């Protein structure tokens, strides 16, 4: 049974563009070797880290959406753990039954509708302390 996963990793900042493409291709190869399929690859570029990792302040962020079988994430995780170019990684299973996030307009509409009611209600009475 194939399940959707998100494989995110941060590559060392000294990896050049060609090296990053080769590393991303290598990770995609591990996914297909684990009888999975790659659906989408996003290279988010070089960004500042929130804290130092192995004395590095920057890193190349890459996110891969993939379909993997039950044992697939363990194989990919083992390979990522042994790759020195990868500073950090995270493999997350995407919940298929989770409700979709509401759009910004629909999220703002209930708040706007509730605001006039809050303004129309009288302020609560307070009694002075003795």
Over residues 15-62, the pLDDT tens digits come to: 999 999 999 999 999 999 998 999 999 999 999 999 999 999 999 999
Per-residue exposure over 69-105, b if at least 16 CB sit within 10 Å of its own CB, e if not: eeebbebbeebbeebebbbebebeeeeeeeeeeeeee
Contact 38, 9 (CB under 8 A): no
106, burial (CB in 10 Å: exposed 0-12, middle 13-18, buried 19+): exposed
The pLDDT, as a whole number, for residue 1 is 84
**Is the pLDDT reported for residue 112 higher than 80?**
no
The 10s digit of each residue's pLDDT in 7-27 is: 999 999 999 999 999 999 999
Give percent above pLDDT 90 in the chain. Answer: 69
Please determine, looking at this structure, whether the domain spanning 3-93 carries the CATH number 3.30.70.60: yes
pLDDT band of 96, cuts 50, 70, 90: confident
Starting at the earlier edge strand, list the strands of the sheet with 37-53.
Answer: 37-53, 56-68, 3-11, 86-93
87, containing H or E segment: strand 86-93
User: Cα separation of 24 and 40, whole Å?
Assistant: 12
**Is the pLDDT reported for residue 121 higher than 70?**
no
pLDDT band of 76, cuts 50, 70, 90: very high
Mean pLDDT, the chain, rounded, equals: 84
**Is the pLDDT reported for residue 77 higher than 60?**
yes
The domain ranges of the chain are: 3-93
Paired residues of 45 in beta bridges: 61
């Amino acid at each position: 049974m194939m399940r959707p996963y998100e494989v995110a990793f941060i590559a060392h900042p000294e990896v050049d563009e060609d090296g990053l493409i080769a590393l991303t291709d290598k990770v995609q190869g591990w996914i297909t070797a684990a009888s999975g399929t790659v659906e989408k690859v996003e290279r988010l570029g070089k960004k500042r880290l929130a804290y130092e990792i192995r004395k590095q302040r920057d890193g190349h962020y890459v996110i891969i959406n993939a379909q993997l079988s039950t044992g697939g994430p363990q194989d990919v995780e083992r390979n990522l753990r042994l790759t020195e170019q990868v500073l950090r990684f995270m493999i997350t299973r995407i919940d298929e039954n989770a409700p979709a996030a509401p759009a910004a307009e629909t999220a703002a509409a209930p708040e706007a509708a509730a605001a006039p009611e809050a303004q129309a209600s009288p302020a609560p009475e307070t009694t002075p302390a003795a």
